[in-house]
Amino acid sequence: MKNTKELTLMNGNYSSDEAREILFNLFSNKINFHQMKNFSSQERFGKESKTALKRITQLKKSMLVASKIIDKAKKNNETLEILSEIKITFSKSKKNSV
């Protein structure tokens, strides 16, 4: 039986400038995390981490989508409601792929 905890990261209305700052900081930190994982893999194993590189690409695409949404909100003088939840579930450890 899995034990899951749900946490709220964001739940509110933000101006386009606030939304851009918050979301881009989150995306940038996650991209940096995966870049460091990739760097570590290169140093330790002599090859890139396929998982990290794939995730970096996904995050960069998500950043572009978020940017377009934020630009549209700014153009229309609208605020953005952002809700972000985190679900944490215990599971058996898996080996990380390189």
Q: How many angstroms separate the CA atoms of 64 and 33, rounded?
A: 19
| Run of H or E residues at 32 | helix 16-45
- DSSP letters along 36-98, please? HHHHHHHHHHSS--HHHHHHHHHHHHHHHHHHHHHHHHHHTT--EEEEEEEEEE-----PPP-
Is the predicted pLDDT of residue 1 greater than 80, yes or no?
A: no
Whether the per-residue pLDDT at 73 is higher than 60: the answer is yes
* Residue 82 pLDDT grade (very low, low, confident, very high; cuts 50, 70, 90): very high
Report the candidate in 31, 23, 36, 38 with the shortest Cα–Cα distance to residue 60: 31
Instruction: Write out pLDDT tens, residues 13-72.
Output: 999 999 999 999 999 999 999 999 999 999 999 999 999 999 999 999 999 999 999 999
